[in-house]
């Protein structure tokens, strides 16, 4: 049976094994998908060993995405531009590193009926999660992108590194005071993981704006609470993005795009 895995540290909480097994059942594809805990320093050697042992493919999660981009033999455009790999695709001579996070976000926003063509987008955060979604947002035809980050210099570095995708305005959070007119506000910070809510002005959203947190569950709640208080009616956490990025990876490995919505509905029913 072909073997697949998600690599991370910690990784026991990962929903990827469940999602991929469900996709496999739904598509009639037998597969063995496991979670493998891996320390960052072990990654390069283990990737070579996994290839030699015949692993069919893997997902990569925190904190290994940037390291994986440096350890792959070849990178897709999405992985090269974002400097992060979340999907390893098997090639004869080594791993092709890809990044399906951006495609997963865009697929979920479409599922939610959020219009991206012509949208003025505010992206909060300038770490690996933010970088991962920028190329796909431009590919989807957004009109403008502003990246706001606690450390403004990191937003500037992101804009510089990703300038081939499009023009990116940058600022620190304090410069958001009084800013307005954003059709879509994305939270890609890890502020809530450290127990802190972002202090954001209520002026930011345009009428009929949407808000989306790239994380899911409890971690997304502070940002979603801000969105509600700012009058944003359409807001969602990133569980759909997680399932959609998995569907994109599944398609690359197996040549079939599974029905992400069905698996998402199952996970929501279990209040994941
Ligand atoms: P990830 O891979 O999840 O993106 P990361 O690369 O460590 O993780 O990036 C974390 C992001 O969350 C950064 O944009 C970080 O801001 P800084 O660049 O200023 O560190 C942001 N972040 C983390 N904690 C935050 C907080 N308490 N308030 C605001 N932003 C925060």
> Domain extents for the chain?
3-99+240-269, 102-237
- Catalytic annotation on 65? yes
Q: Parallel, antiparallel, or unpaired for β 87-91 and 144-149?
A: unpaired
Q: Is the pTM of this model over 0.80?
A: yes
Spatial separation of the C-alpha atoms in residues 188 and 165, rounded to whole Å: 18
Residue 205 near residue 229 (C-beta atoms within 8 A): no
Read off the pLDDT band of 197 (50, 70, 90).
confident
Spatial separation of the C-alpha atoms in residues 269 and 272, rounded to whole Å: 8
Answer whether the bond into residue 10 is a cis peptide, omega within 30°: yes
Q: Which helix (H) or strand (E) holds 124?
A: strand 120-124
Can you give the pLDDT at residue 271?
76
Residue 7 near residue 61 (C-beta atoms within 8 A): yes
ipTM score of the complex? 0.98
Tell whether the model's pLDDT for residue 54 goes beyond 90.
yes
Q: Is-same-fold flag (3-99+240-269; 102-237)?
A: yes
Residue 53: exposure state from Cβ atoms within 10 A (0-12, 13-18, ≥19): exposed
Instruction: Read off the pLDDT of each residue in 24-53 and give the average, rounded to a whole number.
Output: 98
Task: Express each pLDDT in 223-268 by its tens digit.
Answer: 999 999 999 999 999 999 999 999 999 999 999 999 999 999 999 9
CATH of domain 3-99+240-269: 3.40.50.10860
The beta-carbon contacts of 89-92 under 8 Å, at least 24 apart in sequence, are 89/57, 89/252, 89/253, 90/51, 90/55, 90/56, 90/57
How many angstroms is it from 160 CA to the middle of ligand 1?
A: 18
Tell whether the model's pLDDT for residue 272 goes beyond 90.
no
The CATH H-level superfamily of 102-237 is: NAD(P)-binding Rossmann-like Domain (3.40.50.720)
Tell whether the model's pLDDT for residue 141 goes beyond 90.
yes
Binding residues: 14-16, 61, 77, 86, 101, 125-129, 149-154, 214, 216, 238, 245
Atom 18 in ligand 1: residue holding the nearest Cα: 151
Can you give the pLDDT at residue 9?
98
Residue 230 near residue 179 (C-beta atoms within 8 A): no
Angle at 211 between CA 179 and CA 219, to 5 degrees: 110
With CA atoms as reference, report the closest residue to 158 among 104, 100, 83. 83
């Amino acid at each position: 049976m072909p073997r697949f895995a998600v690599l991370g540290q910690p990784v026991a909480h990962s929903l990827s094994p469940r999602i991929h097994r469900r996709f496999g059942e739904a598509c009639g594809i037998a597969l063995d998908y496991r979670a493998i805990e891996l320390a960052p320093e072990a990654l390069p050697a283990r990737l070579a060993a996994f290839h030699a042992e015949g692993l069919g493919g893997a997902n990569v999660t925190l904190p290994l995405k940037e390291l994986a981009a440096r350890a792959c033999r070849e990178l897709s455009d999405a992985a090269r531009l974002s400097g992060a790999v979340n999907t390893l695709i098997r090639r004869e001579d080594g791993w092709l590193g890809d990044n399906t996070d951006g495609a997963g976000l865009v697929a979920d926003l479409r599922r939610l009926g959020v219009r991206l063509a012509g949208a003025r987008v505010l992206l909060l955060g300038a770490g690996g999660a933010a970088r991962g979604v920028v190329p796909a947002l431009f590919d989807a035809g957004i009109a403008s992108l502003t990246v706001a980050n606690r450390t403004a210099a990191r937003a500037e570095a992101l804009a510089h590194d990703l300038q081939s995708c499009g023009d990116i305005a940058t600022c620190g959070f304090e410069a958001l005071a009084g800013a307005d007119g954003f059709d879509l506000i994305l939270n890609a910070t890890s502020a809530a993981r450290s127990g802190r809510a972002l202090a954001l002005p209520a002026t930011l959203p345009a009428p009929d704006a949407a808000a989306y947190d790239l994380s899911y569950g409890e971690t997304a709640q502070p940002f979603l609470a801000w969105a509600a208080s700012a009058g944003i009616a359409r807001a969602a956490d990133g569980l759909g993005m997680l399932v959609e990025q998995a569907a994109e990876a599944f398609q690359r490995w197996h040549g079939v795009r599974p029905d992400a919505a069905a698996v998402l509905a199952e996970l929501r029913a279990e209040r994941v």
